[in-house]
Amino acid sequence: MKRFDAIKRIVETIDDEFIISNIGFPSRELFGIKDRKNTFYMSGSMGMATPIGLGLSLALEEKDDDRKVIVIDGDGSLLMNFGELITVFAQNPHNLIIALIDNEAYGSTGSQETYASKVNLSDIAKSIGFKEVYYIDARNSTDNLNMNDYVDKEGPVFLHVKVKPGNSDAPIIDLSPSKIKNRFMKQI
């Protein structure tokens, strides 16, 4: 299975959680599967979806708002801003789930190989100190991916989903960045 299948499964098995999605095809695929007002399609830089998710998680915690934040991130983006995992661990947000869709590639720009084929990203999360670390091999099936198994865990949760590389025929997101931001903020 590819990134598209994993994202579809994530969307099918969640409720009204906030989603922050990674730049490029992950956001486009998510938009094509189901556009939701409580999704923030991050269209800036690699390595910024998780920091944005962390900021939102901390802000919700401060308001005693118990809604959850799911970040759909990519291996290339995580590797580009690796310090984000350490910051998340240190800040310890209880409501944050990082769903790392690992296709061992910079999928959105032509599937050039990343070093995720050489290092195990969930082992790294464990070594940082994350307590809730899960690895799902979804290369042949996404049946074992169900967000209900993770959303009620005491975060931060690091969910590592291995998929095959490849993009689907996903639409362009026909919403302006300010529209995406404003409608998302209204949900908060």
Ligand X SMILES: Cc1ncc(C[n+]2csc(CCOP(=O)(O)OP(=O)(O)O)c2C)c(N)n1
Binding site for ligand X (CB under 6 A): 3, 22-26, 45-46, 74-77, 80, 101, 103, 105-109, 114
Nearer to ligand X, 61 or 75 (CB): 75
Nearer to ligand X, 105 or 133 (CB): 105
Find the shortest distance in angstroms from Cβ 54 to ligand X: 17
CB nearest ligand X: which residue?
74
Find the shortest distance in angstroms from Cβ 80 to ligand X: 6
Find the shortest distance in angstroms from Cβ 62 to ligand X: 29
Kindly state the tokens that stand for 149.
């198994």
Find the shortest distance in angstroms from Cβ 63 to ligand X: 30
Nearer to ligand X, 114 or 142 (CB): 114
What's the 3-state SS for the chain?
Answer: CEHHHHHHHHHHCCCCCEEEECCCHHHHHHHHHCCCCCEEECCCCCCCHHHHHHHHHHHHHHCCCCCCEEEEEEHHHHHHCCHHHHHHHHHCCCCEEEEEEECCEEHHHCCEECHHHCCCHHHHHHHHCCCEEEEEECCCCCCCCCHHHCCCCCCCEEEEEECECCCCCCCCCCCCHHHHHHHHHHHC
Nearer to ligand X, 22 or 95 (CB): 22
Find the shortest distance in angstroms from Cβ 66 to ligand X: 29
Nearer to ligand X, 24 or 32 (CB): 24
